[in-house]
Amino acid sequence: AQSVTQPDIHITVSEGASLELRCNYSYGATPYLFWYVQSPGQGLQLLLKYFSGDTLVQGIKGFEAEFKRSQSSFNLRKPSVHWSDAAEYFCAVGGVVNSGGYQKVTFGTGTKLQVIP
Amino acid sequence: EAQVTQNPRYLITVTGKKLTVTCSQNMNHEYMSWYRQDPGLGLRQIYYSMNVEVTDKGDVPEGYKVSRKEKRNFPLILESPSPNQTSLYFCASSWDRVSYTFGSGTRLTVV
């Protein structure tokens, strides 16, 4: 079975500081990996995704993530956080395909980011 | 604009009163899915659909029904809502089976 762990429930950073959100996954083969962002009162928006190839993935809003197979991790980074980045961030893994061809996507429990001036 | 539209955004209902949450997408996506979001539990899949007339259970299907009669619509039906179905619900669609576009959510309260 596939699973995702986001060990940090809540993170606070100062505006302008760098950010790293942690994500660890469990899956037997090379997974599809995603980061989504949820602003208050909104749905989830896809930030970036990893399917294959270059392990450093660039996304929208200046975010990037690095796939590290040896550590089963897909951490999200941003060099300089803006106040508008305050939101909840979800890591997700897509992997298992059932007999009907459906590919299951499993979400982590999320990390809430607070940005202080 | 490409989007997934859910209605209503907010709903308060009483136990046992049937309700439907509508979901519509304008991207011609084959794959659609319903999730519920609860604090500390993240998103859990209720049902998904791979195409018209093709639906299947996700991780938490009990108490819910879905239908997919048209490609663009994927309504979620609660035949007899109970308080433990109080949650934030999201509909999502995908063209590649894994990258989803989400609706803005429906906050349901069952009293």
What number is the average pLDDT over the span B66-73? 96
Judged by CB atoms closer than 8 Å, whether chains meet at B99 and A49 is answered as yes
Instruction: Please give the distance of CA A81 from its chain centroid, rounded to a whole number.
Output: 16
So what's the pLDDT on residue A96? 67
A/B interface, count of CB pairs below 8 Å: 53
Residue A103 has pLDDT above 70, yes or no: yes
**With bands split at pLDDT 50, 70 and 90, how would you rate the model's confidence at B83?**
very high
Average pLDDT for chain B: 95
What number is the average pLDDT over the span A34-46? 93
Average pLDDT for chain A: 92
**Are residues A60 and A43 in contact, defined by beta-carbon separation less than 8 angstroms?**
no
Judged by CB atoms closer than 8 Å, whether chains meet at B102 and A109 is answered as no
Judged by CB atoms closer than 8 Å, whether chains meet at A103 and B48 is answered as no
Dihedral angle of Cα A85, B37, A64, B92, to the nearest 10 degrees:
-110
Nearest to B44, CA basis, from A40, A25, A11, A90: A90
Predicted confidence (pLDDT) per residue in B1-16, tens digit: 889 999 999 999 999 9
For A97, the closest chain B residue by CA position comes to B97
Residue A98 has pLDDT above 80, yes or no: no
What number is the average pLDDT over the span B52-62? 92
**Strand spans (E) along A1-117:** 3-5, 10-14, 19-21, 24-26, 32-38, 44-50, 56-58, 64-68, 73-78, 87-97, 103-107, 111-116
What number is the average pLDDT over the span B37-55? 92
What number is the average pLDDT over the span A42-58? 92
Give the pair of three-digit tokens for residue A99.
């007999």
B90 residue type, one letter: F
B88: Cβ contacts below 8 Å, ≥ 6 apart = B36, B37, B38, B105, B106, B107, B108
Q: Which residues of B touch A107 (CB under 8 A)?
A: 35, 42-44
Instruction: Please give the distance of CA A84 from its chain centroid, rounded to a whole number.
Output: 17
Using the Cβ of A94 and the Cβ atoms of chain B, whether some distance falls under 8 Å is answered with: yes
A30: DSSP letter: P
Phi, then psi, of B14 in degrees rounded to 5: -105, 155
* Rounded distance between C-alpha atoms, residue A106 and residue A3, angstroms: 6
- Put simply, the chain A residues between 59 and 78 with a CB less than 8 A from any chain B CB are none
What number is the average pLDDT over the span A69-93? 96
Residue A47 has pLDDT above 70, yes or no: yes
Q: CA of B40, closest CA in chain A: separation in Å?
A: 6
Predicted confidence (pLDDT) per residue in B30-43, tens digit: 999 999 999 889 89
B95: Cβ contacts below 8 Å, ≥ 6 apart = B27, B28, B29, B30, B31
Could you say which of A42, A49, A102 has the minimum Cβ distance to residue B56? A102
